[in-house]
Structure 1
Amino acid sequence: MRTFEPEELDRIIEMAWEDRTTFEAIHHQFGLSEQEVIELMRQSMKASSFRMWRKRVSGRKTKHQATSSSTRFRAKCHK
């Protein structure tokens, strides 16, 4: 995984916490897979905060573009 500037790292974490931002949107903007986002979150947060985040996003339909009804960050070619 590449090294990110502090501003980029803050934005990735913010996007990962947002309910309507899909992992695909993070991948599109920063080139990180879902697993890489999980690893980044694990390394960047306290253990208790990471567990809370994982519980929150696990199984959440809106974190995956294929199961999300949100059109935020979707390009016309990805419908």
Structure 2
Amino acid sequence: MATDKEHFTERELDRIIEMAWEDRTPFEAILYQFELPEKEVIKVMRRQLKTSSFKRWRKRVNSGVSQKHLKKRNSDITRFKCSRQSAISGNKISKR
């Protein structure tokens, strides 16, 4: 697979990282929008973030606080985005 910088633009990488940090945005949304499975999102985050930031993100994703996996998500959550986040559409990059 190509490296992050060859495969994604800087704006796309920024959006992937933003979506990965947002607790309510599941990995399935990133897969849908960028065709990037969870394992690849983890690799992107590992390469693009500082080590301490990556560890903090992984700890949060693996804890009970995160809603990153649809199957583990509380059924009361009916949206996958923060109210301040732009709508994610079928476009490759949602408008900000």
Matched, 1:40 2:49: no
**Structure 2 stretches lacking a partner, 5+ long:** 81-96
Q: Tell me the TM-score normalised to structure 1 length.
A: 0.82
Counterparts of 2:79 and 2:44, CA distance in 1: 23
What residue in structure 2 maps to residue 76 of structure 1?
none
Counterparts of 2:11 and 2:59, CA distance in 1: 25
Q: Which has the larger radius of gyration?
A: 2
Deviations 1:35-64 (A, max 9, x none): 000000000011111001100111445101
Aligned counterparts, 1:56-71, within 5 A = 56-60=60-64, 62-68=67-73, 69=75, 70-71=77-78
Counterparts of 1:62 and 1:31, CA distance in 2: 20
**Structure 1 stretches lacking a partner, 5+ long:** 74-79
- May I ask how many residue pairs the two structures share in their alignment? 73
More helix per residue: 1 or 2? Answer: 1
What residue in structure 1 maps to residue 87 of structure 2?
none
The Cα shift of 1:16 comes to 0.2
Q: Tell me the TM-score normalised to structure 2 length.
A: 0.69
Give the CA RMSD over aligned residues: 1.5
Paired residue secondary structure (1:62): coil
Counterparts of 1:43 and 1:71, CA distance in 2: 31
